[in-house]
Every structure is written in structure tokens, then in C-alpha cells.
Amino acid sequence: MEDVTLSWPGSMTTDQAKKYLLTAGFVPVELFRQQTQVLATGNKRRKYIEDRDSREPTMEDRDSREPTMEEVALRARKDLQVIEKTLRDSLDLSVYDRKQSFRGQHGEMKGQTMLAVRHIEDARMRCGKILQYADDGVSILDKPGKKNEGGR
């Protein structure tokens, strides 16, 4: 394809003419050449994609793929540890040093907090069970040489 020189009325600047041509669906010569080159190298690109799909995933790929059950369970387990620590730390807040609004208020608050901690511990253990059954079905505590990754 040859480069073509266009002329337009004198009231239009070069930049205005370029914008007009682009909005009218004309493609700049440089872009046309790039697109033609991509089409000409279609087989190379197809080969690249096939090679990329057959190789081991990289860190860049891990962001775009669906997480495994192990990754989900480990992440949930770590998040639950943070929540558990937050709840345990809340037992030492100064709110318990203030006057109660009604009799037994602070005791009930602490009791409910500890109940929430127990439920979080149970949820963390259930995530450990997901890890166990996603792997080989044997508890990590029963495997020689392995440490408990979700413990306190």
C-alpha cells in the first residue's frame, strides 16, 4: 500500500484533519502497517500462545488464574488467625475498666468474645481439613517432618 497525501479546506488544521479522519474510520499508515505485520506473523503468534499455555505458570500468570483449593484454604486460615488475635486482644481493652451500663455487661461481653474465638478456632481447623483432603487425606500433624502451618 502506498502513502497517500490528502488535502482539506484551509479552515481545518492538520491536527483537526487527523482527528476527523480517525473518527471517520480511517486508519493511520503506521497503525495499518503494524496490523498488517501482526496478521503476517499470525502463525508465529499462534505458536507463541501454544508455547505459553504449555509451560509452567509464572508469578505473572498466577494473578490471572483461578486459585486452587489449597490456596483458598491457606488464605482463609491466615485471615482467621488475624481475626482470632483481634478478638483475643479486645479482651484487654479499657472498656472493661469503665462502669457497666447494667449488671453483668462486661462478663457477658467477654463471654461472647471467647465464644466467637472458639468458633474462629473451629473454622480455622475446618480450613485445615480442607487442606488435608485436598492433599492426600492424612493430617499434617500425622506426617513426619512437617510442621503445623496454621497453629498459633
Task: Give the distance, in angstroms, between the CA of residue 123 and the centroid of all CA atoms in the same chain.
Answer: 22
d(CA 10, CA 16): 11
pLDDT of residue 147: 56
Instruction: Please choose, from the candidates 77, 53, 61, the residue with its C-alpha nearest in 3D space to the C-alpha of residue 134.
Output: 77
b/e 101-129 (16+ beta carbons within 10 angstroms → b): eeeeebeebeeeeeeebeebeebbeebbe
Q: Are 38 and 45 in contact (CB under 8 A)?
A: yes
pLDDT of residue 137: 80
pLDDT of residue 152: 44
Helix (H, G, I), strand (E, B) or coil at 11: coil
C-alpha cell at 95: 472498656
Instruction: Check: pTM over 0.95? Answer yes or no.
Output: no
Residues of the chain with pLDDT under 50: 1, 152
- Residues in Cβ contact with 118 at an 8 Å cutoff, skipping those fewer than 6 apart: none
